[in-house]
Amino acid sequence: APKPKLKISKKQHKPVCPPPPPDLPPKFKQHILEEMGGTGLVLVIQKTIFYSDVNPTASRFSIPFSQVKTHDFLNEEEAKELVHKTPMQVCLLDPSLKQTSITFNKWVMGNTSLYVLTNTWNSVVKNNQLEKGDMVQLWSFQVNSLLCFALFK
């Protein structure tokens, strides 16, 4: 009896790896590390801006836990504060390299959690023409033990 032929798939099965996150532009990195004296630069999230992120009545930027690259950007003290639902004042470096003070908090909603940037968020949206559909990165770093973020578009 003739042997059955093995079917050979024409498709190459390549492992699907997400592309590595793009690095911060050199002028951003230089500003953070040299001019601000920042340390511990970490990518927190890369996401597409949703309507809720630019809706003036919501006035907040959501950072869903499910999309956070690493939670290691918080030190023990900061993590504890957020567990106790204590909002923190942090510095934010916006895409135009303007520094602003913003509130960082953790919201627990049912069985899901997210970090949020609130309070002065609307002015960041306005000053940087952030729009629904924009791809942004939020980086974290420390300056003199103060938690800071850099938003890059």
pLDDT of 57: 95
Within a domain: 2:
no
Q: How many domains does the chain have?
A: 1
Within a domain: 21:
no
Q: What average pLDDT does the segment 75-80 reach?
A: 90
Q: Does 10 or 112 have the greater pLDDT score?
A: 112
pLDDT of 148: 97
Q: From residue 124, how far is each of 9, 56, 83, 84 by CA, in Å?
A: 51, 11, 26, 27
User: How far apart are alpha carbons 116 and 96 in whole angstroms?
Assistant: 21
The domain of 141 spans 26-152
This prediction's pTM: 0.84
Within a domain: 69:
yes
CATH number at residue 108: 2.40.330.10
Phi, psi dihedral angles at 46 (to 5 degrees): -125, 120
Question: Could you write out the DSSP letters of every residue in 28-69?
Answer: HHHIIIIIS--EEEEEEEEEEPPHHHH-TTT-EEEEEGGG-S
Count, residues in the chain: 153
Within a domain: 70:
yes
Extract the tokens encoding 68: 């956070």
Q: Would the pLDDT of 151 be above 70?
A: yes
Q: What letter would DSSP give residue 83?
A: H
Q: Would the pLDDT of 22 be above 80?
A: no
Tens digit of pLDDT for each residue in 78-133?
999 898 888 999 999 999 999 999 999 999 988 889 999 999 999 999 999 999 99
Contact 90, 147 (CB under 8 A): yes
Within a domain: 17:
no
Within a domain: 11:
no
Within a domain: 12:
no
**Residue 38 neighbours by CB distance under 10 Å:** 22
Q: What is the mean pLDDT of the chain?
A: 88
